[in-house]
Amino acid sequence: MNEHDSEKIAGLLEQKGFTQSKIDDSDLVIINTCSIRKKAEDKFYSQVGRFASLKKRNPYLKIGVVGCVAQQEGSNILKRYGHVDFVLGTMQLNRLLKHDPFYIKDAHIEYSNNIEEINFVKRKSSVKALVNIMFGCNNFCSYCVVPYTRGPEKSRGMKNILEEITDLAEKGYKEVMLLGQNVNSYKSGDNDFVDLLKEINNINGIERIRFMTSHPKDLSDRLINSFGELNKLCEHIHLPLQSGSSRILKLMNRCYNYQDYLNLISRLRSKVPDIAITTDIITGFPYETEEDHKDTLKALQEIEFDGIFSFKYSKRPGTKASSFDNQVEEDVKERRLSEINNLQDTITDKKNEYIKGRKVEVLIDDISDKKDFDFIGRTRTNKIVYLKSNNKLKIGDIVSVIIKNPKRHNLEGEI
Ligand code: SAH
Ligand code: SF4
């Protein structure tokens, strides 16, 4: 989501005549911030101070702060850092187009009820595009700051989304990644998320559809059935479990228990046996005992995810869990996180080994940064593949590759 916001900021500024330059040579610096975990927020605080010296060298320099920390802290940032000129909240990016960025002052963090449609995007990739389909979240998981920083859930109109994707297809894009905090609650008039997928599946030129993220409590049979039925929908789902302990899931306000989650996995796998499933895990949530932690390890063993993103719990301002009494000690969190990661590493190795010798479809999206390989791409299951080619290939090609050497973080293959 933030990456795509940065693409929009770059697009809006380019529209105003700005060009990208090195930070030392810039007259305008915009810091796009994340506050999902304390570590992300701290990164901003450790960076912003350093930018004061840039102003001494260039008196014309303007500095803006946008994103979730901006939304959360608003004018406090201006009070604390005299060298910051403006703060824009998460639904205020269009101000960069409407006003001259050199003259924006103050903090603008109010939510508007309208979706911000931004028509100028400077995309990093020429084959894969990020596309917002909804903003915000109403779920209030007890650890999560998103409902506060991104506001209430709002879906983008289906017509606008389809127009954007048709335009991307005409420009040669092959893949779209649909973005939303909980795509399964997408609603536009009478149309739901599966209706949207069906429409995108009909757009000529688009070959692959992905989405992120889907909340287990709302994963419908209709969506599960779309896998394998919509030919462009890739066989991968990111489905955050968070914890293998139903007691902890309840404290997290996730609205499903471990058994519910297991049922979803078995329905997905009975529809598409080799579907790749990835997840998010939080370790050291308040009240998490050794028993709860073991439940999470057991869940990893039982489900065998293709990959996980694992995080130490961190307190977020305004969230329910930040006032829970029984916070877990830092060293305990640390140890539990490494147990989780070590176990998952062996599972990822086993999963990747299974692909050895198999033929997979790869969309080439970049030039290789690894010696002896020409290109990088992804399988439909979202695994990274380094490949040797006959050099007649180019970025954007979809090719058939035999996996010769599976590694933990990528697969090596040949045409
Ligand atoms: N909307 C998505 C998640 C978005 S946040 C969903 O519900 O699936 C991405 C991930 O960050 C979450 O899945 C969670 O694992 C992690 N996360 C969120 N808040 C956190 C916190 N306070 N501490 C640690 N990890 C957190
Ligand atoms: Fe955060 Fe939960 Fe909403 Fe995901 S569903 S963004 S974890 S509140």
Range of the domain at 207: 123-234
Q: pLDDT at residue 394 above 80? A: yes
Work out the average pLDDT over 328-348.
98
The domain boundary, picked from 218, 234, 250, lies at 234
Q: pLDDT at residue 272 above 80? A: yes
* pLDDT at residue number 343: 98
* pLDDT at residue number 110: 86
> Residue 11 maps to which CATH number?
3.40.50.12160
Residue showing tokens 């995309």: 123
What backbone phi and psi angles, to 5 degrees, belong to 344? -65, -35
Regarding whether 127 and 104 lie in a shared domain, the answer is no
Regarding whether 67 and 32 lie in a shared domain, the answer is yes
Q: Which ligand is nearest to the CA of 313?
A: 1
* pLDDT at residue number 282: 98
Regarding whether 143 and 85 lie in a shared domain, the answer is no
- Ligand 1 pocket test target in 36, 39, 323 with most atoms within 8 Å of CB: 36
- Mean pLDDT computed over every residue of the chain: 96
Torsion on CA atoms 348, 352, 353, 354, rounded to nearest 10? 110
Q: pLDDT at residue 235 above 90? A: yes
Distance in angstroms (rounded) separating the CA atoms of residues 377 and 371: 15
- Domain presence at residue 299: no
Q: Which of 292, 388, 385 has its CA nearest to residue 333?
A: 292
Regarding whether 209 and 141 lie in a shared domain, the answer is yes
* 152 Cβ below 6 A of ligand 2: no
How many residues make up the chain in this entry? 415
* Gap from CA of 232 to ligand 2 centroid (Å): 27
Q: Count helices and strands (H / E) in the chain.
A: 14, 19
Confidence of residue 26 (pLDDT cuts 50, 70, 90): very high
- Domain presence at residue 212: yes
* pLDDT at residue number 114: 81
The domain boundary, picked from 181, 215, 234, lies at 234
Confidence of residue 69 (pLDDT cuts 50, 70, 90): very high
* Gap from CA of 119 to ligand 2 centroid (Å): 27
Confidence of residue 228 (pLDDT cuts 50, 70, 90): confident
* Gap from CA of 240 to ligand 1 centroid (Å): 8
Q: Which residue spans within 213-358 are E strands per DSSP?
A: 236-238, 276-283, 307-312
Q: Residue 169: enclosing H or E segment and its boundaries?
A: helix 158-170
CA distances from 49 to 6, 43, 86, 170 (A): 21, 11, 15, 44
Give 119's DSSP letter.
-
Distance in angstroms (rounded) separating the CA atoms of residues 304 and 295: 14
Confidence of residue 165 (pLDDT cuts 50, 70, 90): very high
Higher pLDDT: 50 or 165? It is 165
- Domain presence at residue 350: no
Q: pLDDT per residue over 38-64, tens digit each?
A: 999 999 999 999 899 999 989 899 999
Asked if residue 265 lies in contact with residue 273, where contact means CB atoms within 8 angstroms, the answer is no
Work out the average pLDDT over 154-171.
97
> Residue 396 maps to which CATH number?
2.40.50.140
* Gap from CA of 218 to ligand 2 centroid (Å): 12
Contacts of residue 72, Cβ cutoff 8 Å, sequence gap at least 6: 35, 145, 148, 149, 317
Distance in angstroms (rounded) separating the CA atoms of residues 174 and 397: 9
Q: Which of 6, 122, 102, 114 has its CA nearest to residue 59?
A: 102
Residue showing tokens 């058939």: 400
Percent of the chain with pLDDT over 70: 100
* pLDDT at residue number 53: 92
Phi-psi sector, 286: left (phi>0), alpha (psi -120 to 50), beta:
beta
Give 315's DSSP letter.
-
The reported pTM is: 0.96
- 155 pairs with which residues across the strands? 134
* 268 Cβ below 6 A of ligand 2: no
Q: Residue 225: enclosing H or E segment and its boundaries?
A: helix 221-226
What backbone phi and psi angles, to 5 degrees, belong to 238? -100, 115
Which amino acid makes up residue 59? P
Confidence of residue 392 (pLDDT cuts 50, 70, 90): confident
Regarding whether 79 and 128 lie in a shared domain, the answer is no
* pLDDT at residue number 277: 98
* 253 Cβ below 6 A of ligand 2: no
Q: Residue 341: enclosing H or E segment and its boundaries?
A: helix 330-353
- Domain presence at residue 59: yes
Secondary structure (DSSP) of 186-209:
-EETTEEHHHHHHHHHTSTT--EE
DSSP strand pairing (398-406 vs 411-414): antiparallel
Nearest CA to ligand 2 atom 5: 139
Regarding whether 152 and 56 lie in a shared domain, the answer is no
Asked if residue 383 lies in contact with residue 403, where contact means CB atoms within 8 angstroms, the answer is no
Q: pLDDT at residue 404 above 90? A: yes
CA distances from 351 to 104, 236, 345, 355 (A): 51, 14, 10, 7
Higher pLDDT: 379 or 388? It is 379
Q: Measured from the CA of 140, which atom of ligand 2 is nearest?
A: 8
* Gap from CA of 219 to ligand 2 centroid (Å): 14
- Domain presence at residue 334: no
> Residue 154 maps to which CATH number?
3.30.750.210
Domain tally for the chain?
3
Regarding whether 18 and 101 lie in a shared domain, the answer is yes
* pLDDT at residue number 111: 79
Q: pLDDT per residue over 122-134, tens digit each?
A: 999 999 999 999 9
DSSP strand pairing (154-155 vs 187-188): unpaired
Regarding whether 128 and 227 lie in a shared domain, the answer is yes
Distance in angstroms (rounded) separating the CA atoms of residues 140 and 319: 8
Distance in angstroms (rounded) separating the CA atoms of residues 393 and 280: 35
- Domain presence at residue 410: yes
Regarding whether 147 and 71 lie in a shared domain, the answer is no
Q: Measured from the CA of 144, which atom of ligand 1 is nearest?
A: 19
Regarding whether 151 and 57 lie in a shared domain, the answer is no
